[in-house]
A and B are shown apart, each in its own frame.
Chain A
Amino acid sequence: NAGVTQTPKFQVLKTGQSMTLQCAQDMNHEYMSWYRQDPGMGLRLIHYSVGAGITDQGEVPNGYNVSRSTTEDFPLRLLSAAPSQTSVYFCASSYSSQGARGNEQFFGPGTRLTVL
């Protein structure tokens, strides 16, 4: 298994540009999520999905859109990039079922985004 994969690894955008960060997992996980990591702030949840066709907002959703058309993929879209969105973005996935099996989230390697 490749686990959770993210592309690209690095990206530089100009203010106002749009782009999509890709995330895919091959573990048949129902639950997928996007976090952003900023210095001194830990990881903050942007959006999450409990299954194909179902998404919901996390702690910091403004400026980001998501969709979940398949179990494997969970892309994150920036419609009009702003310097405040400069961050490292992590995608994660897990089983949704309760109990120990459902609790561990597996993280991708991250995308480092700079908005000028």
Chain B
Amino acid sequence: AQSVTQLGSHVSVSEGALVLLRCNYSSSVPPYLFWYVQYPNQGLQLLLKYTSAATLVKGINGFEAEFKKSETSFHLTKPSAHMSDAAEYFCAVKLTGGGNKLTFGTGTQLKVEL
């Protein structure tokens, strides 16, 4: 069975500081991995996705994530946080060849302070 673990339900950073949101997955087969962002009272928006091409994936709004098979990780980073990055972030996994079912992590709320 596949699962996703997001370490830290709340992360707080200063504006301009590095953002690091952690995601680890467990899967017996190569997965597809996703990061979604949810702004208050809105639906989920895709930030980026890993689909077995390049291990370093660049997404929207300056975010990127690196797939590390040896560490079963797919951490999300952004070099410099902006106030507009304050939102909840979800990591999700989908098995290759396993239909379109996504398994989500429990989410990380990012707070950006002045």
User: A: which residues have CB within 8 A of B?
Assistant: 4, 31, 33, 35, 40-45, 48, 50, 58, 90, 92, 94, 96, 98-100, 102-110
Structural contact, B100 and A31, CB atoms closer than 8 A: yes
- Interface size, chain B (Cβ < 8 Å): 26
Determine the main DSSP class of B at the interface with A: loop
What are the residues of chain A within 8 A of B53 when measuring CB–CB? 100
A-B pairs with CB below 8 Å: how many? Answer: 64
What are the residues of chain A within 8 A of B106 when measuring CB–CB? 40-42
What are the residues of chain A within 8 A of B9 when measuring CB–CB? 40
Chain A CB within 8 A of B49 CB: yes
Chain A CB within 8 A of B83 CB: no
Structural contact, B49 and A109, CB atoms closer than 8 A: no
**Complex interface residues of chain B between 6 and 61 (CB less than 8 A to chain A):** 9, 32, 34, 36, 41-46, 49, 51, 53
Structural contact, B49 and A104, CB atoms closer than 8 A: yes
